[in-house]
Copies of this chain bind each other. A is one copy, B any other.
Amino acid sequence: MLTREQNKRFTEVGPGTPMGELLRRYWLPFATVRQLHEHPTRAVTLLGEHLVAFRDRSGRYGLLQEHCPHRNANLLWGIPEPDGLRCPYHGWLFDRAGHCLDQPAEPPDSTFRERIQARSYPVEALGGLLYAWMGPEPRPMVPRWENHVRTDVVREIGWAVLPCNWLQIMENSMDPVHVEHLHSYFSNYVQERLGQIGPDAYLTWRERANVRRHVKIGFDIFEHGIIKRRVLEGRDETHADWRIGHCVVFPFMLLQQHIRVPMDDSHTLYWYYTVHPKLPDQPDQRPEDIPLHEMPLPGLEDGIPTWELLDSNSGQDDFSWMSPGPITPRWNEHLSGTDTGIILFRRLLRDQMRLVAEGRDPMNTFRDPTTNISIHMPGEADDPEWSGEAYRSLLRALTTRADASGELASIAIANFLVTF
């Protein structure tokens, strides 16, 4: 349970807030390469700031303040040029650094443009995502997470704008036991609501669903964040679930797959980043060709939950993130003995905010190229047995599906093949 004041400190992400200052020390993925190939501008909200992303005609990316410094026309309608983005209204041209390169209606000898500076943020592309740097210089490197840089895979990306603060999403990732209930017991109930099983089936849910109870959970801070471990009923600490565990990457990523970028205090841009093994004859995938899909979110229809979207882990997690409201009121919460991961994550956030306040680099600041080549993260999939089994089943799945449709693996199947 936090006070209202503490909750503000953990959830406010705008300029000048302690959490906002911490988050500005991370490269923030705000769009995909594909999005700016399909349309050369895109409205972006990051850490409470409204911005316009663009791709110039030379193929370079920029991120500018939303409104032209001249007379506030919206640059989302801007015209891409070889060296920047031009405002439709009077043709002022801005490069990626926010310099004004041209003011066509001013006299040729005018120096007025030199006194104009648009707010701008550096952009880098990696693994099909576009990242913004909103922090101080000198800026570090974009982290080269293994799945974002390896060349033996094909990728697909899902996205959604979640109408809630980023932290309640991360707290869900620090909470292993919800799997038993939200993703298992509740799944059965969703089937009942959808008419797929009868109203008496609940008598045997726990048995039929073969849910393994958590016997033990544990959390370790490691160099990139927090490793979550669990021992399920009938297993012990030699199982990969405990021995290896899997990672929450500080501050806003789960594994290398789920990225939750704070847009403002009550909206989060969610990237669902999936990789599949590339088949032997499959050509390299260009970043702009990575399949992209918007993920639907469950909600209400006539006051009744839309059960159709709640029969998958994704929809169920969406529920757990959004249903507490835009900013969950932590002064009402009652943390239990299984919420130790959440408490640890908050402590880590507090420590890292303090580091930033002291002018130091927080966790996951990469400044040494030799350690930022392809960052592997331990995961259950590192277990040779698990991995072999998964790989074989993946190949079977890919073969079957390729026969049927030639399409990439569906998200549903890819879900448990995060790393391989």
Contacts and interface: CB of A to CB of B under 8 A. Distances in A.
A224 to B, nearest CB: 25
B337 A107 contact: yes
Contacts of A69: 332-334
A88 B335 CA distance: 16
A218 interface: no
A71 to B, nearest CB: 5
Contacts of A43: 300, 303
A386 interface: no
Interface in A210-259: 213-214
Nearest to A103: B336
A316 interface: yes
A39 interface: yes
A305 B41 CA distance: 10
B72 A333 contact: yes
A240 B82 CA distance: 37
A416 interface: no
A191 to B, nearest CB: 12
Question: Residue among A88, A177, A328, A330 with the most chain B CB within 10 A?
Answer: A88
Given A57-B202, A79-B186, A106-B338, A178 B70 contact: no
Interface stretch (A318-326, A366-374, A397-405): A318-326
Contacts of A178: 89-90
Interface in A40-90: 42-43, 57, 67, 69-74, 76-77, 79, 81, 86-90
A88 B336 contact: no
A213 B304 CA distance: 47
Contacts of A339: 71
Interface string A145-187: 0000000000000000000000000010001011011100110
Nearest to A205: B79
B74 A105 contact: no
A291 interface: no
A168 to B, nearest CB: 8
B77 A319 contact: yes
A110 interface: yes
A332 B339 CA distance: 47
Interface in A85-113: 86-91, 103-107, 110, 112
Contacts of A194: none
Given A73-B319, A324-B73, A332-B69, A180 B91 contact: yes
Contacts of A333: 69-72
A115 B310 CA distance: 31
Contact of A91 (B81, B91, B181, B335): B181
A384 interface: no
A105 B72 contact: no
A189 interface: yes
A296 interface: no
25 contacts: A67-B325, A69-B332, A69-B333, A71-B335, A72-B333, A73-B319, A76-B323, A77-B310, A77-B323, A79-B185, A79-B202, A88-B181, A88-B182, A89-B178, A89-B181, A90-B177, A90-B181, A90-B338, A104-B181, A105-B177, A106-B337, A107-B337, A110-B337, A112-B336, A116-B334
